[in-house]
Amino acid sequence: MFNQKERVGSLITVPTHVTTVTRSTSPFLDFEPIALTPNPPTLPPSCLRICPQRGGYAQVQYKRNLPARGFKPWVYMVGMHAIMAYGFYKYFHGVREQRELSREKMWSRLYLTPLLQAEEDRDQVRRYYADQARAKALGIEDKVYNSERFIRPTFAITPSNVTQ
């Protein structure tokens, strides 16, 4: 753009510069770009280096002349918060109900636990006495564990054929 051009009869080189504005007529652009053309060679004597165009520059169009679509921005903001507030309201109520439901289920299990445990314990004790009787019949009197606690047997002695 700054192709220097020597003028006849002068020692000063004057850059040719941005001057004239012409309009392009592109159908795909909604604003009109500025085409640049070099300055005309004659200049006023007081203005040797960088000078405005004669008659001034035309207005540069930087705004898009389009209508703003939709609502005002704060409407979207308020709407988003309203939707979120409603969702959280429903969520908290759902969580409270879930907590109560789990409490209900838990207590029903707690009320049944002694019953189920008693049944299981009786079964274990029955097996324990049966094991003791079998061991006694085989002549084994040893204690397996050095402990007074009741220990569920890890290995079971199975009869060779199905009893009963």
CA neighbor of 13 nearest in space, from 43, 53, 54, 55: 43
The dihedrals phi and psi of 100, each to the nearest 5 degrees, come to -65, -40
User: Binding to another protein by residue 150, rule CB under 8 A?
Assistant: yes
Given a contact cutoff of 8 angstroms between Cβ atoms, the answer to whether 32 and 18 are in contact is: no
**Two tokens at 53?**
């165009």
User: Binding to another protein by residue 104, rule CB under 8 A?
Assistant: yes
For the chain, give percent helix, strand, coil, nearest 5. 40, 10, 50
Residue in 111, 139, 141, 154 binding another protein, rule: CB under 8 A: 111
Binding mask 37-76 for another protein (x = CB under 8 A): ----------------------------------------
Q: Name the site residues for another protein (rule: CB under 8 A).
A: 93-94, 97-98, 100-101, 103-105, 107-115, 117-119, 121-122, 124-130, 133, 147-150, 156, 158-159, 161-164
